[in-house]
Each structure stands twice: as C-alpha cells, then as structure tokens.
C-alpha cells in the first residue's frame, strides 16, 4: 500500500499511523464527504495465520455494535481482491478518525503524569469499561495499555484499537488464544481465562507506567505483584486503590469496573465489601461464624414459552385423535403408523414435563469449618447431594457457562449463563445457574469473605 492509493473507490490513503507484522493503520480521506477516517488493513503475508483473520473479523463485528462517545465509531468493513500469488484476500476496517495523542507518545517524550491526572484518566477509562462490561454479552478489550488510550483534542480519554477484543466466552470454555501485551496482562489472561477484572489489571499497570515512567515488565515483583510504591509519591488511598487493581490473585482484585469507579470516587478501598446484594435478588443467604447457608432460587418460569408448548401439545393431541378416528377406515399399516405417532407424542410430553419440573428445583449450598455441601431439591425433596471437605476448596469465583450445557432448562436467548464456580483440585462445582452477573459477583464475595474468617 502507498500514499494516494484509493481503496474501494472511496478511501484515499494519506499517512501511515501504525505498522506491525500483518497489519497497517492509515489515516485516509473518505472521498464521498472529504472526512478523515482511519483505515486498518490486515495485510496478506507469509506469516498471516487463520487466527489473525478471526481476530480481525471479531473486531469489526464487535465495533459495529458499539455506541459510545469515547470509542471510535465503526463506519465500514471490506475485503480487497486477492493479490496475484496470494492465497487470502486483504481485509479493511474503517473507523472515525480522532485527532489526539496517545499516552504512549507522552511516555516517549519522557513525560510523567501527576496523581490528579492519573485519577482523571482512570475515571474516564472506567466509565468506558463499565459500558463495555455491562453489555449483554459483556465485551472485554483485553489489551489496555498506553498506546491504546488516546487524549483527544477535547482533553477526554478515548479507548482505541479493539484488535484483541472478545465477547465474554469464558476462560475454561474457550480456546487458548492468548492476546494482550506482556506487563499489562494478568495471569488469568495468559491461561485463556479473561474476565472483566483482567481489563482492570491492565488499566492499573498502565497508570503505574504513566506515573513512574517505567514499563510494568521492567518493575520489580514480589509474589508476582508489581512493586511501584518507592518510585512515586502518592496519597495512601490512591496507592492502595492501584495495588488492588494489580492484585495477581483474581479474588483480591476489584471484580467490576463499576466497583473500581465507586471506590476511586469515595476513597473507601474495600475491594470485596463494596459489593452489595443487587435489588430484586431472590438469593437467600444466612451467615454466622460457624457456617454460611445459601438458598439459590429456581429459574423463573417463562409463561409465554410454557403456554406455546402447551398449545402445541394440545394441537398435536387433537390432530392425533382425528387421525386415529380416520385410521379405523384405513389399512393396518396406516393404523400402526398413527400408533407410532402417539408414542412419539408421549415421549415429547414426558420430556416437556421433566423440562418444566426442572424449573421447580432449588439449590442449597452450605459451608462449615469442615465441609461444603451442595443439594438440589424439588418440593423440599433432595434428589442430588454432593459433599466435599472444605480443605479441598481452592477457589470461589464468578464465571460463565454455555447455556447449551443445561439440557432441560428452557433457553432465554442467552448463549452464556452467569454462575459461581467452586474449584477443587479434581473437580469444578457450578452453583447459581441463571443468576445475573452482579448476583454472582456478590455471592462469590460473600463466600470468599466467610472463608477468610474461618482461616
């Protein structure tokens, strides 16, 4: 590609803004309205892999559905004709051009920011992350760093470069595609288990880089935690807030961007206790120094889905009655065929009865100082019970599960269900099927807090 070249008979390339292996970013002119745009190109080369194409397509798909004033607006996506001798086409993505300076440019000029400036950057970035993380499904950026945060001419912060973006297909259920930048990427992301708190870690590492002038990868570590306090003078509250952001252990970090923002604004650094039970939650929790008992509600019955199912079953019943009556005047083969249809109808009926009975089950989880117990009950009758020593419990955390795994549950249109996982060395136990993400964050907090007390 070269300056002056016109793509799609519309976008005239002007200046290279960035260039990495397999990718080029150009400032271009949209000839239809003479506006400036950014054109990102995935360029055919021998090192190009299929995963690169998938990431590029995912970026375009996600950006197309984002509407936020601090995220460059998607305009267009296209593929170029396959150049001669190449096996794959080139791909293009067009976004609004935002004039400004990246925070990386400030670092390259040896500039450092003050605590006041760091707070302002954090506040605006967290507001963007709240928008992304609270979408359904949540969107994870996965590559927050100084070069991907831009100070616009209006002095506001913009989040750019969604090349590593991912809809929240969790961790243990997804393929091991590790993206991110060393020094800004938390441990769970290297394991392919990216969560919203992973973006918070990257933000914390970015702020530390801006405050100290030293890249996070070059700072000393103690028990895998970045050590920065001796290099910069900060107020105790802000330093503690930053330390919570970069906790290597996920359970010790802020869980949501909203929680991190509220804590920064109030100055009260309570990384877990600041999460309260969401309004309208039907989860019942009883806690004492000796035990904690959680009663998890049955999924809500979807009246429309049930009504349609009953109507369909009744219509099939009437149809079969009519066919049965008519079969008396037909050959035996037709009679046996209709009898087989009755058997099929019976199987469908039994399946739907089991399917909707599953909506009446409650889940009870009990923790005491020696063991944890998970029970499933219907009408007070326990039909499944699991018991494990409390010493086997390694982690309790918010997670998601593909909804298809719940074969008897009527689907709500979601491809993923928020859950809380109880992790042991040999097995993972899922509780709280169909809770909201905020309920799962709160419940994981309460269980972790109680476990800390008994230790």
Catalytic residues: 143
Using a 10 angstrom Cβ sphere, with 0-12 exposed, 13-18 middle and 19 or more buried, the burial of residue 57 is middle
Q: Mapping DSSP to helix (H, G, I), strand (E, B) and coil, where does residue 333 land? A: helix
Helices 257-266, 236-245: crossing angle, 10 deg rounding? 170
Which alpha helices (DSSP H) does 19-49 contain, by range? none
Distances (CA, A) of 270 to 200, 228, 260, 263, 273: 15, 21, 10, 7, 5
- Look up residue 336 and give its two tokens: 């046996």
Rg, the chain, Cα only: 27
Q: Which residues of 268-302 are buried (b: 16+ CB within 10 A; e: fewer)?
A: ebebbebbeeeeebebebeeeeeebebbbebbeee
Q: Nearest-5° angle of CA 446, CA 266, CA 285?
A: 15
Is there a contact between 153 and 99 (Cβ–Cβ < 8 Å)? yes
3-state secondary structure 170-223: CHHHCCCCCCCCCCCCCHHHHCCCCCHHHHHHHHHHHHHHHHHCCCHHHCCEEC
- Tokens 């690169």, residue located: 52
CB atoms within 10 A of CB 212: 18
Is there a contact between 21 and 41 (Cβ–Cβ < 8 Å)? no
Spatial distance between the Cα atoms of 266 and 80, rounded to a whole number of angstroms: 51
- Look up residue 43 and give its two tokens: 């360029």
Spatial distance between the Cα atoms of 171 and 399, rounded to a whole number of angstroms: 8
């Amino acid at each position: 590609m070269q300056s002056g070249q016109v793509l799609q008979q519309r976008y005239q390339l002007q200046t290279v803004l960035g260039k990495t292996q397999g990718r080029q970013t150009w400032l271009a002119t949209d000839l239809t309205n003479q506006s400036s745009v950014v054109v990102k190109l995935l360029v055919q080369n021998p090192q190009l892999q299929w995963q690169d194409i998938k990431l590029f397509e995912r970026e375009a798909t996600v950006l197309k559905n984002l509407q936020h004033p601090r995220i460059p607006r998607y305009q267009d996506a296209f593929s170029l004709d396959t150049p001669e001798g190449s096996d794959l086409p080139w791909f293009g993505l067009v976004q609004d051009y935002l004039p400004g300076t990246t925070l990386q440019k400030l670092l390259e000029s040896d500039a450092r920011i003050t605590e006041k400036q760091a707070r302002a950057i954090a506040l605006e970035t967290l507001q963007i992350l709240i928008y992304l993380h609270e979408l359904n499904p949540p969107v994870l950026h996965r590559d927050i760093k100084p070069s991907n945060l831009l100070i616009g001419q209006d002095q506001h912060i913009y989040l750019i470069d969604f090349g590593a973006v991912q809809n929240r297909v969790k961790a243990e259920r997804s393929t091991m595609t590790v993206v991110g930048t060393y020094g800004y990427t938390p441990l769970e992301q290297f394991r392919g288990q990216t969560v919203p708190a992973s973006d918070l870690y990257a933000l914390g590492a970015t702020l530390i880089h801006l405050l100290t002038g030293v890249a996070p990868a070059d700072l000393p570590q103690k028990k895998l935690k970045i050590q920065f306090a001796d290099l910069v003078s900060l107020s105790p509250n802000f330093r503690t807030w930053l330390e919570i952001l970069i906790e290597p252990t996920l359970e010790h970090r802020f869980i949501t961007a909203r929680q991190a923002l509220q804590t920064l604004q109030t100055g009260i650094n309570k990384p877990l206790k600041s999460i309260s039970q969401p309004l309208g939650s039907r989860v019942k929790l009883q806690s004492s120094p000796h035990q904690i008992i959680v009663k998890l509600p049955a999924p809500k019955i979807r009246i429309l889905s049930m009504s349609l199912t009953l109507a369909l079953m009744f219509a099939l019943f009437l149809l079969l009655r009519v066919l049965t009556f008519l079969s008396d005047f037909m050959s035996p083969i037709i009679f046996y065929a209709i009898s087989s249809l009755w058997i099929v109808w019976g199987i469908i009926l039994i399946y739907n009865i089991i399917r909707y009975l599953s909506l009446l089950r409650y889940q009870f989880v009990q923790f005491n100082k020696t063991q944890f117990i998970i029970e499933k009950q219907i009408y007070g009758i326990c039909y499944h019970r699991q018991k494990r020593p409390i010493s086997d419990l390694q982690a309790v955390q918010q997670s998601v599960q593909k909804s298809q795994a719940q074969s008897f549950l009527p689907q709500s249109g979601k491809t993923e269900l928020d859950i809380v996982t109880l992790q042991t060395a040999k097995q993972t136990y899922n509780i709280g099927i169909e809770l909201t993400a905020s309920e799962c964050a709160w419940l994981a907090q309460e269980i972790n807090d109680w476990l800390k007390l008994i230790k």
